[in-house]
Amino acid sequence: MIVKLEQDLSRQDIEILIKYAKMNKDVERIMTILQSADTVVTCSMDGSEKLVNASDIYYIESVDKKTFVYCENVVYRTDLRLYQMADILSDSGFVQISKSCILNINVLDLIKPLLNSRMEATLKNGERLFITRKYLADIKEALQAGRKRL
Amino acid sequence: MRKMIVNIMATTGITLVILAVIALLFGASWLCITVVLECLGANILIHLGFLITHKFESRYAVLESALDIGYMLIIIIIFANIFDWFSSTPLWVLVIMTILVYASGLLLSIIRMREDIRIINQLINKRNNEVNS
């Protein structure tokens, strides 16, 4: 893969052009990463609002009808419901791993089976999350396809 | 839908094998053809019900299993009354059979799950290697 960077002082925004011979998983994955870098979510912490980039989000969890956005070292709250977040982030590499949690597939480090027929995901920051068996096929599909609609 | 049909056929097969083994232990030498179809009917209803029971998620897998087994027992008791299974098979045998069928299905599911996990971890490693190279 050849990566070219070109500075153009007249430009207001970043332009990315991907040239490919055939659409394949690699191209789709690059698109997913780029889309996640371009998607922002409005979150709040200590009463102040903040725009959080989708690529910085590790996972989103719904607890008692409140939605929490977990980044590497910081947790935000959002007024959006989990299904709304899933909709916004559907093209950014996020996949549902349980009824109450959606995960950024790009921060998934390892999955291991537990004794009680459950699974545990280890993220790149060392955090661990439970995975429900019925979503395992979606995770596999998301990793195989490069991107997956929720 | 395809997966559900495969699961119904698989559990019907397991049910019939366990039924045959238990029947042999009780000294029986044959099974009625109608019993095969009754087992298929019970399995279809059980899997349709699983579409609802599997919406329930708990941190404790044992609760989910208890709900599934409870639902299976309800279906089995209803079928036993309709098709007069109790005349040849006592309730406790039906309960043991239900648990054995569930345990067999769960075991197959765990084997499949472990294979999926192996593939997923391979895909993650491949991704990480590509990013690092």
CATH of domain A27-145: 2.40.50.1020
Domain ranges of chain A: 27-145
CB atoms under 10 Å from CB of B50, counted, come to 16
- pLDDT at site A147: 44
Whether residue B34 is contained in a domain is answered as: yes
**For all residues of chain B together, what is the average pLDDT?**
90
- pLDDT at site A26: 79
- Which among B57, B117, B127 has CB closest to A132? B57
Distance CA A75, CA A4 (A): 35
pLDDT at residue B26 tops 80: yes
**Per-residue pLDDT tens listing for chain A (150 residues):** 788 888 988 888 888 888 999 888 778 878 877 777 778 888 998 888 888 988 899 999 999 989 999 999 899 999 999 999 998 887 788 999 998 999 999 899 999 998 767 899 999 999 999 998 888 988 988 888 654 444
Give the strands of the sheet with A57-63, arranged side by side: A48-53, A40-45, A75-78, A66-71, A57-63, A101-104, A94-98
- Structural domain including B19 reads 2-101
Distance CA A107, CA A72 (A): 9
**Which residue out of A108, A112, A141 would a mutagenesis test of the B interface target, given it has the greatest number of B Cβ atoms within 10 Å?**
A108
pLDDT at residue B133 tops 60: yes
- pLDDT at site B15: 94
Q: How far is CA A110 from the centre of its chain?
A: 15
Alpha carbon distances (Å) from A45 to A42, A56, A68, A74, B27: 10, 15, 10, 9, 71
Q: How far is CA A65 from the centre of its chain?
A: 21
Whether residue B123 is contained in a domain is answered as: no
Q: How far is B122 from chain A (nearest CA, A)?
A: 9
Can you tell me the mean pLDDT for B120-133?
A: 81
In b/e form, how buried is each residue of A76-104, taking b as 16+ CB within 10 angstroms? Answer: bebebebeebbebbbbbbbbbbbebbbbb
pLDDT at residue B71 tops 70: yes
- pLDDT at site A13: 82
B120 touches chain A (CB under 8 A): yes
